[in-house]
Amino acid sequence: MGHTKSASTFGSIMGAVCLGSTAMPTVERTFFALGRAGARMAIHERAGCGVPILCIPGLTRNHRDFDGILQMFPSRPVIRVDLCGRGDSDWDSDPARYTPAVYLADLTAWLATRAEPQFDVIGTSLGGILTMGLASQLPQRLRRLVINDIGPVIEAAGIDAIRARVGEGGPFVNWAEAIDEVRAAQLPAHPRETDWPRFARALCRARDSQIVFDYDPAISQQTRGAEIEPFWPLYQSTIGLAVLIIRGECSDLFSPSTLARMLQLNPVAEALIVAQTGHAPTLYEPECVAAMGQFLAD
C-alpha cells in the first residue's frame, strides 16, 4: 500500500553520508499511499547519519515549518511530513476524515514501512498531539520527543482563535500582499519575528497565479463543535521517555498549569518557555535552537 526506499538504496545513501562524503544529500520528496480514494501523504526526507528526526506540523502548517531543522542538524537524517490536506499531500475526498485519529493512523501505517528502529520526533501543536499518539502506539520506536506548545488541556480561548481563522483569508494577488496579511494576523503572537517573508512562505504557496494558504480549506469543518476534552491518558504514554516541552510564554492554547502537571507526571521531561511568544513558537527562536540542539544531540 505504501511507498518506501529499498533497504539497499537507503543503506547506500546513509553509508555515503556517515563515511564523510563531501556531497551534501538533497531533500527527496516521496509519497505514501494512504489506501483511501488514491490519497497520498508527502514525505520530505534528507538522508544523514544517526537517529532520524521526524517532524510533524500543526493544523494549518506543513513541512516548510521545519526548514530550520535541516540547518540545525546538518548531518542527521531529517524527515518532514505533510499531513493529508496540507502542503504537497493530497486533499482528502471526504473532509470528515480530517481528524487526529486518521492522521495518527496514516503516520503509524507509514512508520510500519520504515526500517529505522527509532526516531526522534518534533511535533508542533496538532503535531504534538500526534507525537503523544505515536508514544501510545509505538513507544519502542521513539527515543526523544519535542512537544511544541500543546498539552492535554487545550484552552478555550486558543481553540476559539484557531477556529476563527482556519479557512479564512486569501487568496492574495502577490507575495507582498500575502506577507503583509500574514504579518498583521500573526504579529500579536509573534512580536519577536523579524523574517516575515520566511514566515509567509512557510504558510502559503503559489497556485493558479495567486498566493493561497497551503491547506485544504475543508480542514476547517473538523475544527468546529464542542470543547475538546482533556486527554491526559494520551500524554501519560510519554512517561519514561525523554521529552522537551516548549511553551510560548503568551500562548492562549497551552496554559502554565497544564505544563506544570505534565512535568509532574513525567519526571524526565524538560521544559522551555519562549519569552514574548504566543502559539506556537516557530522553533527559529535562539532559545529553541539552543535547547533542541542540546536535547536532540546524538
What average pLDDT is seen over the chain?
92
- 27 within a domain of the structure (yes/no): yes
- Please provide the DSSP assignment of 14-49 as one string: HHHHHTT-SSPPPEEEEEEE-SSTT-EEEEEEE--S
- 183 within a domain of the structure (yes/no): no
Q: Predicted confidence band at 222 (pLDDT cuts at 50, 70, 90)?
A: confident
Average pLDDT over residues 219-247: 92
- 50 within a domain of the structure (yes/no): yes
For residue range 15-71, list pLDDT tens digits in order. 445 655 555 679 999 999 998 877 999 999 999 999 999 999 999 999 999 999 999
- d(CA 294, CA 292) in angstroms, rounded, equals 5
Q: How do beta strands 40-46 and 53-56 pair? A: unpaired
Cell numbers linked to 11: 543503506
Average pLDDT over residues 204-231: 91
DSSP tally for the chain: helices H, then strands E: 10, 10
Q: Work out the burial of residue 271: count CB atoms within 10 Å of its CB; fewer than 13 is exposed, 13-18 middle, 19 or more buried.
A: middle
- 250 within a domain of the structure (yes/no): yes
Share of the chain above pLDDT 70, in %: 92
Average pLDDT over residues 239-253: 98
Domain of residue 126: give its range. Answer: 7-156+232-295
- 224 within a domain of the structure (yes/no): no
Cell 508514544 sits at which residue? Answer: 135
pLDDT of residue 15: 45
Q: Is pLDDT of 166 > 50?
A: yes
Q: Which of 9-23, 93-107, 282-296 has the lowest mean pLDDT?
A: 9-23
Q: Is pLDDT of 95 > 50?
A: yes
Residues in the chain: 298
pLDDT of residue 226: 67
Q: Which of 6, 28, 29, 26 is nearest to 17 (CA)?
A: 26
Provide the number of structural domains found in the chain: 1
Please calculate the CA angle 192-175-126 and round it to the nearest 5 degrees. Answer: 55
pLDDT of residue 16: 46
pLDDT of residue 23: 58
- Inter-residue contact 92 to 36 (CB < 8 Å): yes
- Inter-residue contact 148 to 122 (CB < 8 Å): yes
- Inter-residue contact 167 to 264 (CB < 8 Å): no
- d(CA 165, CA 201) in angstroms, rounded, equals 18
- 31 within a domain of the structure (yes/no): yes
pLDDT of residue 275: 98
CATH number at residue 147: 3.40.50.1820
Element containing residue 163 per DSSP (H, E) = helix 156-165
pLDDT of residue 20: 55
- 170 within a domain of the structure (yes/no): no
pLDDT of residue 4: 40
Share of the chain above pLDDT 90, in %: 83
- 39 within a domain of the structure (yes/no): yes
For residue range 107-129, list pLDDT tens digits in order. 999 999 999 999 999 999 999 99
The 8-class DSSP code of residue 52 comes to: P
